[in-house]
């Protein structure tokens, strides 16, 4: 997990508890403090660290370095080869880790295993939508030429292979799209389990970030990078550029409608 100052303590507790209540409980939880935190957030970490002194590994970055670099810092401090990503405001289903570990056991070639997600706003029992992604490797490989083929907070991956590809890039947006595209292009095998194993916290602020010029420019730039690598082709790049620019100029209400109609279930 990467934790920064704007996170809410109650959301952080829900997220951590969902990992503590796994049917196969992690033997290490690495949390990166990405810059200074509020007293309340620090207190949450202190409480968990006191109650589980052998479980938590709190890694400190004195200044805010951004999600990508914070996740790299966390990876370097993980003792295990298999690492589960988790966001500090989402909720993992109890069987998540067990089922992902089983997938790695059944197929030794896998490097990345993700899952589907249900999205909610305030109440985790009131699901607003779901993001369904491809399950088979060849489908994931093609999907990633234009769109993110994983739900980032759900992935479990092999630490050595992530670092072999250079880890997360120092980007403000779409760090996961960039990383997973590079990993797939380098021949690493991936899969998504065909079931929802994480509840994703969504809200209006997320829609605003998606509509920002920073996000639009970053996404187009990432696919342009794929094209230069020889992964995406020119038509992939054009489709993404047009779609991203169209979403950017759309009012948020129309953008939200388009997401629900075409990008969500």
pLDDT per position as a tens digit, 224-243: 999 999 999 999 989 988 88
Residue 140 vs residues 15, 31, 70, 136: alpha-carbon distances, Å: 27, 29, 26, 6
Structure tokens at 193: 């389990």
- Say what the pTM is: 0.90
Q: What is the pLDDT of residues 161-175, one digit of tens each?
A: 999 999 999 988 899
Closest CA relative to residue 91, chosen from 23, 15, 20: 15
Confidence of residue 261 (pLDDT cuts 50, 70, 90): low
CA separation for the pair 107, 212 (Å, rounded):
39
Q: What is the pLDDT of residue 247?
A: 76
209 pLDDT higher than 80: no
Neighbours of 195 (CB within 10 A): 12
In sequence order, what E strands does the chain have? 2-3, 29-34, 56-61, 82-84, 91-92, 110-120, 127-131, 156-158, 189-201
The kind and range of the H/E element at 265 are: none
258 pLDDT higher than 80: no
């Amino acid at each position: 997990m990467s934790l920064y100052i704007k996170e809410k303590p109650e959301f952080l507790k829900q997220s951590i508890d969902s990992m503590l209540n796994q049917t196969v409980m992690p033997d290490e939880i690495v949390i990166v403090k990405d810059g200074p935190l509020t007293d309340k957030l620090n207190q949450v970490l202190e409480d968990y660290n006191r109650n589980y002194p052998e479980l938590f590994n709190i890694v400190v970055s004195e200044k805010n370095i951004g999600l990508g670099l914070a996740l790299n810092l966390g990876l370097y401090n993980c003792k295990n080869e298999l690492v589960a990503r988790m966001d500090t405001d989402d909720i993992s289903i109890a069987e998540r880790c067990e089922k992902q570990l089983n997938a790695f056991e059944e197929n030794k070639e896998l490097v990345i295993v993700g899952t589907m997600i249900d999205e909610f706003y305030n109440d985790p029992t009131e699901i607003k939508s779901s993001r369904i992604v491809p399950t088979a490797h060849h489908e994931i490989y093609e999907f990633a030429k234009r769109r993110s083929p994983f739900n980032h907070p759900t992935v479990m991956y092999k630490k050595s292979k992530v670092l072999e590809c250079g880890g997360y890039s120092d980007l403000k947006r779409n760090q996961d799209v960039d990383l997973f595209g590079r990993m797939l292009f380098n021949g690493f095998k991936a899969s998504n389990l065909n079931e929802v194993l994480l509840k994703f916290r969504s809200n209006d602020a997320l829609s605003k970030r998606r509509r920002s010029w920073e996000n639009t420019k970053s996404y187009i730039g990432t696919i342009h990078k794929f094209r230069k690598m020889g992964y995406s082709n020119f038509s992939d790049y054009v489709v993404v550029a047009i779609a991203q620019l169209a979403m950017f100029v759309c009012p948020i209400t129309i953008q939200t409608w388009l997401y629900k109609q075409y990008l969500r279930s």
